[in-house]
Structures are given as structure tokens and as C-alpha cells.
Structure 1
Amino acid sequence: MFIAHTIEALRAHLSAYQHPAFVPTMGNLHAGHLGLVRQAKPLGDVTVASIFVNRLQFLPHEDFDSYPRTWDNDCAQLRAAGCDVLFAPNEKELYPEEQTYKIQPPAALADLLEGEFRPGFFVGVGTVVMKMFACVFSEAKGRRTALFGQKDYQQLMVIRRMVQQFALPIDVVGGVTERAPDGLALSSRNGYLSPQERAEAVHLSKTLQAMATALRAGATDIAALEAQAMDSLRQRGWAPDYMVTRRRSDLLTPEAGNTTPLVVLGAAKLGTTRLIDNLEV
């Protein structure tokens, strides 16, 4: 596996290839990331992953400084998964000066759900992804593919629409959410959970499953369904931010009688750890 710490070295190495398939990460890798790498292998002639903890998408009170950096283990896992190239710039390399040009996704999508509880999050995500695309795909001469996990459902939608509106020649592919045997969605932040919290954490996905089951059975009172889900988690000691039913097309609340495809999404804190998950209905 070739490791590039500079944009120049990355571009020089990738100039020999036609069709990069790219998996951006913040490191502290788990089976979900590695599944994306394996999914990327047949989609290009070189598989590229990145590790960069992006300060722009963290709020001042969030865990940027304490976010786990597990370099040696990450490299070993990427090699085992068949990754060809790892791009691992430091902050000075990716942001040699203050990043004053930024991607501002539309408020109708970026200011709800995650954007409501993490203001500016999608500005940081859109900006770093656009810059990563410029680094990884600048030498590509044909098909370009980027893979993102569906666990970050809203993020995937933001990136897809960014690519569409800027007419970027990139196929954005969503990877299915990888789960532990008990159903907990894999996340780098699961490592923050105590053993007791880890046993409890599965109830976020179970609550979403209950919402999805009720919707499939014909439930029409969306507000009551959401309130019941919030109360259920609070009674178990969680601090939920949202447990909602939304249209897959735009993440807005479905109208009564609307048969458009739906998704249930949740975000909640268990102790000091904030977890997110979703299920398409």
C-alpha cells in the first residue's frame, strides 16, 4: 500500500491510473470502513482511502482533540482489505492557509436534523470532501467513484447533491450500514461506550426498528410515533436529539396519505456518547 502524506505525492502516484475508487475516512477504522474499501475494489483500477480528522466539521465543544487516532491499526486493516493507496495529509498540508472558501449546502437540507444539532457541520463536511475530491481525482482520465456509508444518511444526501449541482464527474456510491451481531450500527464513536452503555446502545436501532414496523403496519400518526420513540429512549436514560420519520427524497416530514418512500432516523446521547442510526422503510 502506497502512503502519500502530500497532495503532490498523491497526484504523482495516481497519474498512472485511470479510474480511482475513493473511500474518505477520519481513521479509527471499523468493519464499516473496510466494507467500503472492499466494495470499492471492483469499481476502479486503484482503490484509495484517506485518513484525515477534519477540524472544520467539529463544533468547539465536540471531540476533535480526543477523537481516536489509531494510525498503525488503521494501516494494517487497510492493507488487509486490499487498499492500494492511503492519503494521510496533516492539517498544514490540506489547509496551508485559513480555508475561507467553503461549501455552503442549502439550508433546506443542511439545517435540519444533524445540521440543527451540529450547526455548521455540513459546511465542514462539504468543504473537506470537495477538497479531497480535488486531490484524489485531479489526475483521473475516466470514471471516478467515491463511496460513503449510509449510516450517515443525511451526509450522503448532501454529498450527492453537491456533486450533482457542481456537475462533478464522480459517481457517489452508498455503502450499506454495517452492524454488530446485536444490531448496533458500527461507528468509530462506539469505542467511547462503557460495557454497560455498549449493552444498552442497541436500543437505538431497536427503537428505529419499532418505528419502521409500525409504519409498515399502517401507522399514520407520525407525530405520535416520534414522541413515543423519544419517550421510550428517555425512560431508558438516553438524551435523544431526534427520532423522526422523513421522506427519503428530501428528508422532510411526509404529508398525511403520502406513499413516498420513507426513512426513520435517530440521534441520541447515551452518557457522553452521541450515536446516530437510520432505517429505510
Structure 2
Amino acid sequence: MAGFVACGEYTEPEPRPVASIGSVDDFTCALPQDVGAYQRFPGSYAPSTNPRPIPGTVPDSFVPAEAVVCDIDLAPRIGADGVATYFERHYSGDFGSAIQAFNAPSARRAFLPGSCGDYSLAAPVDMWLVDADGRAVQPSYPLWDCGFENTTALGEVLELPEKYAIQHTVAIDAAGIEYFYHCSPVYSAPVDGTEKIDFPFWPSGFCYFDNVGQSPAFANASMFSTSDISPDWEALLSGLEHAAPCSERSNSIATSSSGMMSLDGTTAQVHVELDGCKRILADGYAPLAAPAYLVDSIAAERG
């Protein structure tokens, strides 16, 4: 009996504090995940100078008029100036189910050694609630038995109608563009080889270059799901024919450096000519003839 009581006491969930009510001016959307390390002008992001009120359960006296949810990712396209966008989204409606989920008690903690395992957690979403008087609170979440946040309440908020969104911008550097958009904004001309491309290629973004001047100039970049363009890039490349000799200039070129590994284990960059010879090029490999549907699909992703 003593062992049972001790075990029950050990797994009892800790109570959460009630959230402090502050002004909506105390809240500013956090930068999307990882962006801070790639700002072109470090320190340009200016959060509220006021300390945020303490998060916790939603007070009984607080009646939300809207919820503000901040994007955790950058928008899927970025221009030549390297200025990326993200949004704070405002939702309104019946918050009854959301508040019930926010204020639900945490589960009893698991106590058996190794029973929780290791999990990769999603990036936290910055959000808060605002009432009709311009007051705001930041809800916390109850915990699952392994100590992870139960974000059911956030799902309830996201089911409500989105009334409007406010756009924010942040300038990121070349390394940031490559990190988030999976392509380099710095053009490097490939050198033809004789071997057919034989490495896996699963692009999730392209950088686009205008080649109308003395050298290709970065125009913009886009990220996307590979399913948006081709269901099987590896099979696609292996089935392409060598390109016929061609010296026609390409005025528009798309490059990608994600999902590709050359034989020596280094990242390779693939170029797709969107006009002119319309070839697929990689440094040290033979040019391949790009199918029209593929060229058109990649060009359409440019936006």
C-alpha cells in the first residue's frame, strides 16, 4: 500500500498558474523558427519592449474576442532583395472548446523508466488571446503523461474563421536563403562531363536566375513539396536522354541543391534551363534533355 501511495504522489501532475492579463501592446510575433541566425541586419527585429505577462490557464474573467497565431515558417517565395515574409493571423468565433482544452488538467506523469521514449518535437507556435478591451493573455498548454504539451487547444483555434492577417518582413542573408529555400542565390556555372547523372534528386526548392546580362542574376526563390512537380525525381532523371548539342542561350535558369548527393558525398547543384536548350545540368555530368512538362512545372513555381 505504501508503494502504491508513493507512486501516486510521484505521478500527480503539477498545477499550472493562471495567466496574467496584460495589454495587447505587450505582444509581438516571434520570428519564425531559425530565422534569427540568418538575419541580414542583426538586431533589426524589434519585439515589444514590455515584458510579456506570465502564461497559464485562461482566467475565468477573460472573454476572448480573437486569437492571434504567428507563422512558424517563412512564406514559400522570396524576392531578389532577400526580404522574406511571414504573417500573424487573427481568428475569431466561439472560443468555448479552445478554452476548455487550454484549461484542461495535465495528465499524470509516466513513471516507468524508459516508458516515454525519445520524440522530435514540433516548433512551438507563438499565440495569444485578445479581448474586446485590448487586453491579452498567453495561454499555456496542459501536458501529456510524458511531459509534452497537449496542443489540442491550438487545433481548436485554427478551426475558427481566419478574419485577417498582418504581414511582417525580415531580410535574410544568402546562407538563410539556401537554408530555407534549399537553393543557393549565388550562381555557379556547371562544367559538363560525360557521365549520366546518377545521384538521388528530391528538390524542395529552386532559385531562379535571369540570364540576360553579362552573368546570371538571382531573381527569386520558392520552396515547395516535391509532389508539386514530380512524384519520383530519381526515376525521372535515370530515364532521361542525353541532350543534343546546343549552344542556344538560356535567359531563365532554375537551380536546386536539396535532396542531392554526388558520388563523393558532397552536395551537388542541379540547373534546369527554362528556355533556350532546356537541359538539366550538374557539375561534372552530361547534360540531359529536360521534358517540356517538367520545365513548365518548375517555371510555374517561380510565381
Greater C-alpha Rg: 2
TM tier, shorter chain? under 0.3
Q: TM-score scaled by structure 1?
A: 0.22
Instruction: Compare the two structures and name the one with the higher helix fraction.
Output: 1
Q: TM-score scaled by structure 2?
A: 0.21
